[in-house]
Amino acid sequence: PPWHAIAQEAQEYRDASLAKVQPPVSIGINAAPNNVSETLRSSLSSQELAVTELPIKDLLQQIRTRNITAVAITNAFLRRAALAQMLTNCVTELLPERSLAQAAFLDEYLQNNGRPIGPLHGLPISVKEHIGMKEVGLNAGYVAWWNKTATEDARVLQILSRAGAVFHARTTQPQTLMHLETDSNLFGVTVNPYNTKLSPGGSSGGEGALVGVGGSCLGIGTDIGGSIRSPAANNGIYGLKPTAFRIPTDGWSSTAPGADPIATVIGPLSTSLGGLKLFMETVLLAQPWLQGPALLPIPWNSSYHISSQRPLKIAIMLNDGIAQPNPPITRALKTLALRLATMLNVTIVDWIPHLHDEAWAIISSLYFTDGGAEDAATMAESGEP
C-alpha–C-alpha distance, residues 252 and 266, integer Å = 9
Name which of 214, 130, 134, 219 is nearest 169 in CA terms.
219
227 is catalytic: yes
254 is catalytic: no
Of 161, 199, 203, 230, the catalytic one is 203
The partner residues of 167 in beta bridges, in order of sequence, read 125
Helix (H) or strand (E) segment spanning residue 170:
strand 166-171
Q: How many CB atoms lie within 10 A of CB 328?
A: 8
Whether 116 contacts 59, CB under 8 Å: no
SS3 (DSSP) at 129:
coil
Residue 365, C-beta contacts closer than 8 angstroms, at least 6 positions apart: none
C-alpha–C-alpha distance, residues 170 and 93, integer Å = 5
Of 128, 184, 199, 230, the catalytic one is 128
Sheet holding 265-270, edge to edge: 91-94, 166-171, 124-128, 218-223, 265-270, 238-239
C-alpha–C-alpha distance, residues 215 and 378, integer Å = 32
| C-alpha triplet 299, 301, 302: angle, nearest 5° | 140
C-alpha–C-alpha distance, residues 110 and 70, integer Å = 10
Of 227, 230, 270, 382, the catalytic one is 227
Long-range contact list for 290-293, CB < 8 A, 24+ apart?
291/155, 291/248, 292/155, 292/248, 292/250
Whether 200 contacts 192, CB under 8 Å: yes
- 238-239 vs 265-270, strand pairing mode: antiparallel
Helix (H) or strand (E) segment spanning residue 13:
helix 3-19
42 is catalytic: no
Q: Which residues are catalytic?
A: 128, 203, 227
